[in-house]
């Protein structure tokens, strides 16, 4: 059951919603979303906003060598590993107001509510903003939580380049968020991430809380297709080496692999660049991305094998060539059962409808689970729409998620370090 402190303690729902709307103005788009890509000036602006509010909530703030921000609220015994909450403040190019943001700002709201109630926890608490969760500007996703968990080296991260050739390491320095603390040096007692589901299940089943048990496996690839630039007007059809036509067949093959392993598999081409991208030149080169996902790693591997074969087939007998590089492999993750039980108990104690669920989207928690007991809490978003400016969550659901976060954190503090007297 949840600890004594969580019984009647609640977060301030209006203050939380106001903070979400305030940060939504940083990078706001005309269609009501947010464009706040990693390590841009807008990312620096929202980071500064977050640091200032954590400091005026009495936290000490530290920045590590990957720009991860940790805001620490002291506990009774500050030698204990902190119980952490968090997510990410970077967004997709056509992102919504809630993806990542509610996990960071609900963590801040938990600290503010504990301050208001004068509650002292055994262990310190922390709220963390992870750099480059989205992986949109710098692939792969969850890059800095991955370094924190030992999945990547700092130098690998620093050398990642965006599509304009800018280096992650240079941009991190440029916005002033390359800290001194070695990334990963900070040990966590537990980590909880509140996030919108980004899928349709909770809303369809009219459940308020998703008790997340894990994250599906995912792999990213980069393909470069090579034909030959030629004149669109004077090159007969049978003499062409059209890289974009070949790519179109490849994209159809990606779709077929996803459908062949449906309903649990997904396969996506999201990024494509045709070169020279001129309306009267036959494209001689095309670069595109592939994202494959499934709850079972063995199926992701089978999808990759099927895809490799299908891509070879699309160019058989032609002079088109291609390279196929796997740039990211994030195996399926199962969260810590004690943390999952804390979320389930909190949801029940607070009277929220809930169900267990596996995450289709990747999250920083997927990597943090490698180095600390970790789990997630989901709340619904309208029609499951996300990575879209229309993304929408209800204030009541966000508040419910934050109340579950508060209760689960207090429960874990009591479970790990003993009941508090206040
Ligand atoms: O790709 C993902 O699932 C996450 O949104 N970065
Ligand atoms: Mn996210
Ligand atoms: Mn996202």
- DSSP for 97-161, written as a single string: SSTTHHHHHHHHHHHHHHHHHT---SS-EEEEE-TTSS-SSSSSSSHHHHHHTTSS-HHHHHH-B
- Ligand 3 is an ion; its neighbours by CB within 5 Å are 99
Residue labelled with tokens 């919504």: 96
Residue-range domain boundaries for the chain: 13-216+332-417, 217-330
User: Are 155 and 147 contacting, i.e. CB atoms less than 8 angstroms apart?
Assistant: no
Residue range 305-328: mean pLDDT, rounded: 98
Residue in 395, 43, 19, 406 with CA at minimum distance from that of residue 196: 395
Best residue among 102, 131, 141, 195 to mutate for probing ligand 1, ranked by most atoms within 8 Å of CB: 141
For residue 92, which ligand has an atom nearest its CA? 3
Q: Which of 135, 145, 220 to mutate to test the pocket of ligand 1 (most atoms within 8 A of CB)?
A: 135
Give, for ligand 1, the residue of 361, 364, 366, 367 to mutate: max count of ligand atoms closer than 8 Å to Cβ: 361
State residue 328's pLDDT score.
98
Ligand 1 atom index nearest CA of 361: 3
- 280 three-state secondary structure: coil
Instruction: Give the distance (Å) from ligand 2 centre to CA of residue 231.
Output: 44
Q: What is the pLDDT of residues 365-421, one digit of tens each?
A: 999 999 999 999 999 999 999 999 999 999 999 999 999 999 999 999 999 999 876
Coarse DSSP helix, strand, coil percentages of the chain, rounded to the nearest 5 percent:
35, 25, 40
Q: 51 and 69 in contact (C-beta within 8 Å)?
A: yes
d(CA 263, CA 35): 31
How many Cβ atoms are within 10 Å of 254's Cβ, its own excluded?
A: 22
What pLDDT does residue 46 have? 98
Q: What is the pTM of this model?
A: 0.96
Q: Does domain 217-330 have CATH number 3.40.190.170?
A: no
The pLDDT of residue 3: 39
Ligand sitting nearest the alpha carbon of 359: 1
Closest to 403 measured CA to CA, from 381, 377, 421, 380: 377
Name the CATH architecture for the domain at 13-216+332-417.
3-Layer(aba) Sandwich (3.40)
CA-nearest of 173, 58, 42, 26 to 125 is 58
Kindly tell me if the per-residue pLDDT of 282 is higher than 80: yes
Element (H, E) at 286: strand 285-294
């Amino acid at each position: 059951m949840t600890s004594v402190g969580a019984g009647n303690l609640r977060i301030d729902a209006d203050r939380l919603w106001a903070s979400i709307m305030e940060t939504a103005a940083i990078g706001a788009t005309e269609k009501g979303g947010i464009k706040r890509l990693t390590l841009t000036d807008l990312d620096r602006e929202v980071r500064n906003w977050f640091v200032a509010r954590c400091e005026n909530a009495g936290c000490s703030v530290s920045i590590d060598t990957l720009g991860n921000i940790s805001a620490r609220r002291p506990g009774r015994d500050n030698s204990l590993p902190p119980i952490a909450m968090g997510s990410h403040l970077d967004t997709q190019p056509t992102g919504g107001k809630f993806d990542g943001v509610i996990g960071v700002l609900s963590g801040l709201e938990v600290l503010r509510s504990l301050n208001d109630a004068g509650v002292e926890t055994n262990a310190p608490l922390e709220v963390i903003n992870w750099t480059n969760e989205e992986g949109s500007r710098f692939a792969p996703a969850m890059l800095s939580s991955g370094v924190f968990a030992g999945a990547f080296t700092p130098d690998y991260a620093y050398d990642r380049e965006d599509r304009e050739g800018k280096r992650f390491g240079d941009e991190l320095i440029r916005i002033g968020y390359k800290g001194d603390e070695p990334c990963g040096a900070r040990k966590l007692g537990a980590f909880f991430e509140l996030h919108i589901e980004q899928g349709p299940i909770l809303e369809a089943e009219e459940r308020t809380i998703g008790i997340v048990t894990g994250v599906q496996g995912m792999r990213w690839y980069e393909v470069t297709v090579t034909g030959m630039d030629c004149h669109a007007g004077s090159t007969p059809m049978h003499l062409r080496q059209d890289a974009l036509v070949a790519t179109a067949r490849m994209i159809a093959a990606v779709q077929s692999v996803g459908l062949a392993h449906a309903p649990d598999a997904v396969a996506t081409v999201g990024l494509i660049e045709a070169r020279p991208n001129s309306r009267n030149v036959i494209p001689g080169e095309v670069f595109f991305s592939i994202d494959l996902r499934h709850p079972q790693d063995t199926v992701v591997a089978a999808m990759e094998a099927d895809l490799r074969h299908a891509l070879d087939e699309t160019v058989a007998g032609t002079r088109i060539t291609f390279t196929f590089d796997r740039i990211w492999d994030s195996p399926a993750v199962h969260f810590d059962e004690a943390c999952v039980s804390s979320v389930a108990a909190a949801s029940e104690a607070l009277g929220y409808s809930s169900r267990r669920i596996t995450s289709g989207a990747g999250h920083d928690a997927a990597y943090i689970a490698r180095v600390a007991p970790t789990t997630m809490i989901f709340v619904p978003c309208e029609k499951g729409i996300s990575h879209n400016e229309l993304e929408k969550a209800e204030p009541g659901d966000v508040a419910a998620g934050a109340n579950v976060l508060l209760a689960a954190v207090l429960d874990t503090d009591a479970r790990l370090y003993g009941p508090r007297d206040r």
